[in-house]
A and B are shown apart, each in its own frame.
Chain A
Amino acid sequence: RDDMRRETPILKEALKRISRQDLEARNFRIARATVLYNAKIELPREQWTELDEDKLYLTPHVEAIKKELKERKDFEKSK
């Protein structure tokens, strides 16, 4: 699910905070998806990621960044 997130400034910041391993795995999955989509090939069923196996590696960072931005905004308002 986190692979499908669209490009936003928050996502770009979150990508700077994840581990190198997660980032490389993400890039591999995206590149694979693009190539397979263009060739109109589906992944074999056994390679699909089930919903319960899907680890959200980006969502915690995205939520943390949103929280930080909100805190900063509230601080600026209270000044």
Chain B
Amino acid sequence: MGSMLFLILGAQILTGVMLTMNYTADEQLAVVSVDYIMRDANYGWIIRSLHMGGASMFFALIYMHIARGVYFGAYLKNTHVWYSGLTLYLLSMGVGFLGYVLPWGVMSYWGLTVITNMMTVIPGGARALDWFQGGFVISTVTLKRVFVLHFLLPFVILGLSLAHVLLLHVNGSSNPLGLDETNFSVPFHPYYSIKDLAGFALLLAGLVGMTFTFASLTADPLQWQPINKMKTPAVIKPEWYFLYAYAILRSIPHKAGGVFTMFAAIAGIAVFPMISSNENFQSMKACPPARLMFVIWVANFMFLTVIGAQEPTGGWVLAGQFGTILHLSALVMIPMIKADWEFYLFMTAQLDEEESVVNDVKRFLGPRLLSN
């Protein structure tokens, strides 16, 4: 899955550079330039659709990659890989958000307004916001710097990805059973080269299929409407890969509380190595109760994604709050359940040993005690 992520990153950088050749970061010209790419530039519609679909694929793969890491306890093998991966995820979220702003549709502008205003919850945040915007309001200046950041950060992600892989090779890859298999490793070629090629084929089939059939599958219809800065849309929502965080943000009635809870939920996987350092078993293969909790966590993640797309009214608010509590508590409960299960397994062994010692003592001393 890591190799598939590398492939998608490469594809995004390549298509992104090609889009840059025709895009103009200006309030008046951004929509015109995107329209030019879609209608007039040679195969521009393919490049743009690949870039849009590629972003969705990238995040889908990231979430599967993280879930695989949690399930097989990869955070226990090498914590540096885990934390570099978390940094990569946060940077990718930034890049994805910045990229969504560039077409300058209704959702682009209002999404930028919502997310950048989160800065105001920290002390000095209002000044920081003006500094980021390049003024007191969002304007062409803001769009230009968003474009520059969206262009530069993927190369930072590329460099950090290489570091991520180098750190991985310090200890080597883990395995699904979480066993000590240093004596049983297989060569990368042909086992994993062919497996990775199969993954690439599947990924490219999905990406190309999406590009040529349902290119706008994940797009919001409001993106095709011109911006009206005087009229806030009834529903502001980000792309699907941010919806779970958006649901958590909206579930807390307090602004700062919502922002901090959202960041805690996003970066919460950082706690896994901290609270799991004494675990004996790496993979959830050895712990059925933790597997159940994991499935609930993943299902809740999907549930939060659905909630994030709804209007925050009625039962959806309560559902969002419930989902938030479940998401945050699962981050702590999964390692705790694993630790409890191990303790139970090894305690049973100790009890068995103690019982067998007691039985031995009874057998040896019994007749003497009875006779005395």
Contact = CB atoms under 8 A, between A and B. Distances in A.
A59 B182 contact: no
B318 interface: no
A3 B346 CA distance: 13
Contacts of A5: 180, 280-281
B290 to A, nearest CB: 13
Interface string A22-44: 00000100110110010000000
A1 B180 contact: no
Interface in B334-372: 345-346, 348-349, 352-353
Given A6-B76, A6-B282, A30 B352 contact: no
A37 B345 contact: no
B184 A31 contact: yes
Interface in B173-204: 175-184
A4 B183 contact: no
A74 interface: no
B346 A52 contact: no
B177 A34 contact: yes
B85 interface: no
Contacts of A46: none
A48 to B, nearest CB: 15
Interface in A52-79: 52, 54, 56, 59
Given A4-B280, A6-B76, A6-B282, A34 B181 contact: yes
B168 to A, nearest CB: 15
Interface in B154-171: none
A7 B182 contact: yes
B186 to A, nearest CB: 10
Nearest to B171: A7
Contacts of A11: 180
A51 B178 CA distance: 20
A3 B179 contact: yes
Nearest to B176: A37
B281 A6 contact: yes
Contacts of B348: 51
A5 B280 CA distance: 5
B26 interface: no
Contacts of A3: 179
Contacts of A54: 349
A34 B281 contact: no
Interface in B90-143: none
A1 B353 CA distance: 14
Contact of A30 (B180, B279, B346): B180
B178 A4 contact: yes
Given A4-B280, A5-B280, A6-B282, A59 B180 contact: no
Given A37-B176, A37-B177, A56 B279 contact: no
Given A33-B177, A34-B179, A37-B176, A1 B345 contact: yes
A30 B179 contact: yes
A1 B177 contact: no
B67 to A, nearest CB: 19
A64 to B, nearest CB: 15
Residue picked from A4, A37, A56, most chain B C-beta under 10 Å? A4
B73 interface: yes
16 contacts: A1-B346, A1-B349, A5-B180, A5-B280, A6-B76, A6-B179, A6-B280, A7-B77, A7-B182, A11-B180, A30-B179, A30-B184, A34-B175, A34-B179, A34-B184, A51-B348
**Pairs of residues from A and B, 10 with the lowest C-beta to C-beta distance, nearest first:** A6-B282, A7-B180, A4-B286, A5-B280, A4-B281, A30-B179, A56-B349, A31-B184, A6-B178, A1-B345
